[in-house]
Structure 1
Amino acid sequence: MSCSVEEVRLSLPHIELAAHLFGPQDGLPVIALHGWLDNANSFARLAPKLKGLRILALDMAGHGHSDHRPAGAGYGLPDYAHDVLQVAQQMGWEKFSLLGHSLGAIVSVIIAGALPERINRLALIDGLIPPLGEPEGAAERMGAALQAQLTQSSKRKPVYTDMDRAVEARMKGVVAVSREAAELLAQRGLMPVPGGYTWRSDSRLTLASATRLTRAQALSFVNAIRCPAQLVVAEEGMLAQNQTLLESVPFEVTALPGGHHLHLNDEAGASAVADCFNRFFAVP
C-alpha cells in the first residue's frame, strides 16, 4: 500500500463527492465503487496492485468524506448511477471501465446494462444484482419503507468512546471483516463527536429500499452488458451459495478463497484479486 494516492473532491451539479485517485495519468480510466457502508479505502490494498489503470475510487454519496444527500432525497440505485455518470463527465471520460465491490458491483452492472456504449470493461467483486422482490409484496414493502423514513430522523447513531471500539464493532458488522480491513475503513469512515467517535455515513443508508427489482428485471441488466466482464466470487462470501444465479452469468466467473471483503481483508486476498484483474484488463 506504499503507492501514491491523490485525494480529490468532485463538485457535481447536485452533490460534492470525495475520492482517491490512483495510477498513471495516461492509464485506462476506471471508476471504482465500494460496498454498502464502506468507503474509498475499500480499494486501498487492491488499487496499488492494478497495473496501467487510472483508478478513481469514490466515496459514494452518504459514505466516507462525500456529502450526504439533501433532506427528502434517497439512496436508490439510479441515484448512484447518476452520480457515476456525472463523475465521468467531470473527469472528461466519455468511455470508462468500472470496478465494483458488493453494492458498487450492483451499481456497476446497472450502468453497464443501461448504457453499454459507455463502459469499456466491467470488473466485479462478490456482487452482481440487488436483493430481489416479488410484485405481490410491492405495496407492503413500500408502506414499511415510508413508515421507516418518517421515524428515521429521531434515531441517533452509536457513539464509541474510542476508535478501537468502533473498529471492533465494524469487525463484527452485518458482514464481518478483518481487523486490518476495519481499521482502513475506519480511517476514512469515523469522525469525532462529543463523547468519542461515530461513523460519517448517512444513517438513511440503513433504510430498506421502497421498491425492489424482480429477478427478471435484475437479470435484464446483466444480459444487456456488451463489454468484457469478469466477476470474482469469494468462496466464503455472499454469492457463492447462489449457484443457480452464477450459472446464468453470461461472462467469466472466477472463485477465489476468502470472505466478502477478500480484496481488503489481507494482502493475500488483494494479491489474488489483483492477479485476476490484471490479466483481465491486459487482454486486448
Structure 2
Amino acid sequence: MSVTFEEIRLSLPHIEVAAHLYGPEDGQPVIALHGWLDNAATFSRLAPLLEGVRIVALDLPGHGHSDHRPLGAAYNIWDYAHDVLQTAEQFGWKRFSLLGHSMGAIVSVLLAGAMPDRVERLALIDGVIPYTGEAETAPQKLGESLQKLLVVDDKRKPVYASFEQAVAARMKGVGAVSHEAAERLAQRGLMPVPGGYTWRTDARLMLPSSMRLTRAHAWAFVHGVACPASLVLAEQGLLTQPAMLELTQALPFVLHRLPGGHHLHLDDQVGAEAVAAVFNPFFAG
C-alpha cells in the first residue's frame, strides 16, 4: 500500500486521537469516520480518489491508534459526535463535510441532525441510523449492559499466533471483507502481545448498548439534516433486509445502489472507484 497520507495525532480537550490526512491543504474540509471495530485505514483506497478535498480520516476513540476512553466512561454512539466536533475545532473548521461508513455514517447523521449549521455535506456508505429500541425494552438493555460491564476484560481479547491468522479472522468478522481489505485494517488495528497479535480496539466496544434511541428519535435526527446528503447502498451490504430497504426509500437523501459488500469502498479498487464516481461530483456540487 503506497503512502498517500500524513499520520497525525490530535490532543482534543478530553482525549487524544490519531488520524490520516489526505488531499491538498486548501481542499474542502471533510472528516471521515470509519465503522465499528475498523479504523482510519478503511478509507485508504477511497480517499486518494476523492478530488479537491482535505480529508481527516479519524481513528475514533477506542479504535486504531487513538486513546481508549477513561475507565468508567462508555462508548455511546452519540459521544462520537462530540469527538468529531472537537476535531473540527482543532482545524478551525466552522463548516465541514462528513464522509461516513457504517457506524461512521450513523454518527455523521446524528451530528448533522443535531448541528445543521456546522455540516456542509453528508457522504454516507452503507449506514444511516443506529439500531433502535423502544421504551419497554430499556430496563432489560441497561441491565444486560451493566452485567457485562462487571466482567469486561482486555485480557479476554483473542490472541493470534500470526498476522495472517488475524487477517483471516477479520475476513469473517462483522461486515465480511476481502483479504486485502482485512490486511489494510489489520496493519493499523493489530498490536504485538506475548504469543502473537491482538486488536488495539478497546474491549468495551464489544459491550451491548446500555440504551438505544427509539425509532422516533432516529428519524428526528434524519429530519434535522439540512445539508445535501448522498447515501451509497451496497447491493450485498447490511441494509438489504426488507425493513431496512423500506427505511432507506423513505429517507430524504439521494440514494445510489452499487454492487459489492458492506466494505465495497475498501474491498477492491473497482468498488473504491465506483464510490468515488458518486462522491466526486457530490463534493464538487
TM-score class, shorter: over 0.9
Matched, 1:253 2:260: no
> Does 2:253 align with 1:277?
no
| Structure 1 residues 53-89: Cα deviation after superposition (integer angstroms, max 9, x where no partner) | 0000000000000000110001112210110011100
Q: Which string of whole-angstrom CA distances, capped at 9 and with x for unpartnered residues, describes residues 95-133 of structure 1?
A: 100000000000000000000000000000000000010
Q: List per-residue Cα deviations over 1:206-230 (Å, max 9, x = no partner).
A: 1111101111110110111000110
**Secondary structure at 1:86 match in 2:** helix
| Aligned partner letter, 1:250 | P
- 1:46 — aligned with what? 46
Please state how far the C-alpha of 1:240 moved relative to its aligned partner.
Answer: 2.5
**Please, which runs of 5 or more residues in structure 1 have no aligned partner?**
none
Residue identity over aligned pairs, in percent, reads 66
Residues 237 and 258 in structure 1, CA contact (< 8 A), matched pair in contact too: yes
Secondary structure of the structure 1 residue equivalent to 2:78: helix
Contact 2:175 2:238 in 1 (8 A): no
Question: Structure 2 matches for 1:165-184, cutoff 5 A?
Answer: 165-184=165-184
- 1:9 paired with 2:9, answer yes
TM-score by length of 2: 0.97
Letter in 2 for 1:168: A
Q: CA deviation at 1:175?
A: 1.8
Work out the CA distance in 1 between the residues paired with 2:34 and 2:128: 13
- Pairwise mapping of residues 99-178 of structure 1 onto structure 2 (< 5 A)? 99-153=99-153, 156-178=156-178
What do residues 3-39 of structure 1 show as CA deviations (whole Å, max 9, x unaligned)?
Answer: 6210000001111000000000000000000000000
RMSD value, Cα: 1.0
1:22–1:56: 8 Å Cα contact kept in structure 2? yes
Once residues 79 and 219 of structure 1 are traced to their aligned partners in structure 2, the CA distance between those partners, rounded to angstroms, is: 18
Give, in whole Å, the separation in 1 of the partners of 2:63 and 2:185. Answer: 11
DSSP 3-state at the match of 1:117: coil
Structure 2, gaps ≥5 residues long: none
Return the offset for 1:151.
1.0
Rounded Cα–Cα distance in structure 2 between residues aligned with 1:177 and 1:78: 26
Distance change in 2, residues 1:71/1:49 (3 Å) = same
Distance 1:119 1:163, change over 3 A: same
Q: Distance in 1 between matches of 2:180 and 2:4?
A: 20
Residue 157 of structure 1 aligns with an amino acid whose one-letter code is K
Structure-1 separation of matches of 2:152 and 2:196 = 22
Q: 2:179 corresponds to which letter in structure 1? A: R
Contact kept in structure 2, 1:3 and 1:48, CA below 8 Å: no
Offset from partner CA, 1:124-183 (integer Å, 9 cap, x none): 000000001011111111111111111113751111001000000000112210000000
Match of 2:203 in 1: 203
Once residues 205 and 177 of structure 1 are traced to their aligned partners in structure 2, the CA distance between those partners, rounded to angstroms, is: 20
Question: Within 2, Cα distance between the matches of 1:93 and 1:151?
Answer: 41
1:71-82 equivalences in 2 (<5 Å): 71-82=71-82
Residue of structure 1 in register with 2:218 after alignment: 218
Which residue, 243, 246, 254 being the options, matches 2:245?
243
Task: Go from structure 1 to structure 2 and tell me whether the alpha carbon gap of 1:36 and 1:168 turns closer, same or farther (over 3 Å shift).
Answer: same
